[in-house]
Structure 1
Amino acid sequence: MSSMQNIQADLEQLIACPACDALYRAALPENGERAVCPRCHTVLIAPVDGAVIRVVAFAVAILILLVSAMFMPFLSIEAGGLSHSTSIADAALSFSEYHMLGLSIGVVALIIFVPIARAILVIFALFPLMLDKKPWRGARTAFRLSEELRPWSMAEIFVLGVGVALVKVAAMAHVELGMAFWLFVALVLVTVFQDGFLCRWSIWSALEQGDRQNG
C-alpha cells in the first residue's frame, strides 16, 4: 500500500507542458519567479502573492462589464442624412433577418454568455481560496469547465473584428462609438491582466489539496 502511495505522490509532482507535452518534475519557484519549459519556453508555473484575489476581482469586473454592455448602445452610423444605432444584441441578432437564427444565437453565446459563464465558474472555484478556506465541492469541476470554455470565449475576437470593419466603414459614413464598445475594449484589457495573474498549476494544487480535506 505504501508503494502505491509513493507512486501516487511521485505522479503528483510531475507537470506536462501544455504546448509541447514535455514532462517535468514540478518545483515551485519563489513568488514573482517563473518555471519555464526549456524546450518551447512556455510558462509552466508563475506564483504571485495575492494572485487569487486579483483573478477573482478581474472575474467580477468581467461580469460587470459584460452585463453593462448588453444594455448600452454599441455604435451608431450616419450617412446620407440617415442614422442608425445598434446594441450588442441587435448586432448579433441581425443575422436572424437573413434566416440565420442559429448563427445569431452562436454569436451571442460566444461574445456574451460564454465569457459570463467563465467568470462565474472562476469566482465559484476560487472565492473560498481567496478567503483562505477550503474550496467548495465541485470547485475542481467548475475550474476545469472554465478552462474548457476558454477557447470559445471570443469577446476579444469580436472587438478586433469590429475594429477592422470600422476602418472600412469610416470612409463611407460617420461612425460614433457607444459606451458598450469601450466596455468591450476594457474587457479585453481586464482579460489580459487576469490571464497574467492566473497560475493554473498553483490553482490546481490548491483545489486538489482542498478536495482531500473535503473527502
Structure 2
Amino acid sequence: MIVLGAAGCSSQPASKPAADGKPSPSVSASRAAGAGAQGAPGDVKQLPGMPTVSVARAQLAGLKVATAGSMAGYSREKFPHWASQGAKCDTREIVLERDGTDVTKDADCKAISGSWISRYDHLTFSSAAKMDIDHTVPLANAWRSGANTWTTEQRKAFANDLTHPQLVAVSATSNRAKGDQSPDQWAPPAKDYWCAYAESWTTVKSTYQLTVTDAEKAKLTDMLTTCPT
C-alpha cells in the first residue's frame, strides 16, 4: 500500500532540464564551510522523516529491483505540485521557511529575506529566488518506477510530501543538473552529503513502494558506506 504524504512541492514556478524539463539558470552564490550531522554541509536543518543508517540499509534491501519503466504518458502536470498549505502558503514557501535561517515572509507568505545553504553543493544564498525545491526522487523517476499506475491524488501527495525527506531547498544549478537522474547517474557534488542523500532517496522509495534498478541499488549501497559508523 502506498503511503500518502502531506501536500508540498519542488522548485520555483519554473521547471527542470532534460527529461524533467528543468531550465538552466544563472546562479550567484558563495561557498559554505564545514559539514554537520547526517553529512549535511554547514548548519542546515535536519530533513523530516530521516531514517537511521541501519533502517535505510534494511529498506534498501527490501526494495524491488526492476528495469526502468517507460516515460510514455508522463508529464509534470500529472503530479500537481506547489499545493496550498493554508494561510496563503504553498509547499514551496513552507520548505523555504523550514530549510532556511531567519526567514521572514510578506503578507502573501513569500520569503523576502533569510539565508539558505544548499546541501548538494555547499553554496549559500540570501535570496529565496535563487533557490529551487528539489524532489529527492524526481517525478519522472517515480513515474518510471511505479507512479505511472497511481491516481492523481497519490501523485499529488508524493509531489507535496512534507512528512518524508522528499523535498529539499537546494541551489538551482544543482537541482537542474540533477534533472530526473537516479543516484547512479547523478550524485550531489558535495560528497559529505552522500550519506543523507542515500538515506533520503531510499526511505522515499520504500515509503512509496517504488522500484530501483540494479545500478541504482548498487550506487545507493556504496553511498551508504559513507555514513558514520
The verdict on a shared fold, with TM-score over 0.5 as the criterion, is no
Q: What TM-score do the two structures reach when normalised by structure 2?
A: 0.24
Higher relative CO (CA 8 A, sep ≥ 6), structure 1 or 2? 2
Bigger Cα Rg: 1
Q: What TM-score do the two structures reach when normalised by structure 1?
A: 0.25
Q: Which has the larger share of helix?
A: 1
